[in-house]
Amino acid sequence: MALPRRYPLIFNPRARSQKGGRTRQFLMAHANRFALYATNTGQEAVDLAKKFADDGEPVVIAAGGDGTLNAVVSGLAGSRTALGIMPAGTMNVFARELGIPANSLPKALEVIEKGLIREVDLFSANGAPFVQMAGVGFDAMVIEETTWESKKMLGPLAYLLAAVKVLGEKPPKMEITTAEGRTETGVAVLCGNGSLYGGQFKLFHKANNLDSKLDVIVFKEAGYRLVLDSLRGIALGGINLSASTSYFQSECFTVKADREVPVEIDGELLGRFNQIAFCETSSRLRVLAPEEPCGTPFVDSVKALLQWPPKPYEQQATTAP
């Protein structure tokens, strides 16, 4: 009797959060659908994914957060093997970008089973592939300061507490040069292949992961001005051009800093560098995703909170359609 085909599934067994526990329970309950591969390190996840791709596996699944996802993407880069996503992390930004249900593993499995493949742009930072976004300076410093223990205890709040600490540090000076000939200076850089950042916030409002371009935000000032402009951008559905930021699109660009600065890709710390080159890779990433992305109602709640206080009832009544 022929055995049913199982998807190779790569996961991190050391995830001790409540969500990690639920993920392990789900995987064991559906063990007849997966060939489970537990990893000890991110590099092991990269190597496993590459081996599966080299062996011609049509689909490899990453079950975990953005770190596990980035490792599997690195292993699949340049291959025809499709990526399946079982979101089990704190943010799950790329899954949300594609409309993959971030809080329902059964629905995420349904997406994989339907077999619809989308091909998206794949970029790299100093040769390291990333699929969603990257940051140089401030946000990478926040990730560098955020411990695994604090993420386990506080979830996304851990990043906010780390940000408060980083705000008091002297920022680096950076020069950004694009392949199109544009030059900017600033203290921090964010770039997005997709529109979302930090969960469900649409930070890169022009981004399209099919256009072979990165949306780039250069922050001109450090400290609380940087944070306030970011919050204003979130409330309005995207970063506004203001005195403290520049927003543009580029196919390839380089960041030079006056000292070694941390760099993150897809929410994971890449390392510290004086110079970082961002370029598109030679191939796209094939991903199993729904045809129509699901909505993100949480964003409406955040917008309402950031735009408090609301208009008076009388004003609402006169402006309603």
> Cα–Cα distance between 69 and 48 in angstroms, integer?
13
Max mean pLDDT range (142-156, 178-192, 197-211, 306-320): 178-192
When the pLDDT of each residue in the chain is averaged and rounded to a whole number, the result is: 82
Burial of 232 by CB count in 10 Å (0-12 exposed, 13-18 middle, 19+ buried)? middle
Mean pLDDT for 267-288 is: 96
Are 133 and 197 in contact, with CB atoms under 8 Å apart? yes
pLDDT (0 to 100) of residue 318: 38
pLDDT digit string, tens, across residues 92-142:
899 999 999 988 999 999 999 999 999 999 999 999 999 999 999 988 888
Q: What does the domain layout of the chain look like in residue ranges?
A: 7-120+283-290, 128-280
pLDDT digit string, tens, across residues 178-199:
999 999 999 999 999 999 987 6
**CA-wise closest residue to 125 among 277, 282, 284:** 277
Is the model's pLDDT at 209 over the cut of 60?
A: yes
| Superfamily in which the 7-120+283-290 domain is placed by CATH | Probable inorganic polyphosphate/atp-NAD kinase; domain 1 (3.40.50.10330)
128-280: CATH class: mainly beta
pLDDT digit string, tens, across residues 48-105:
999 999 999 999 999 988 889 999 999 999 999 999 999 988 778 999 999 999 889 9
The tokens 């906010």 sit on which residue? 160
Mean pLDDT for 20-35 is: 87
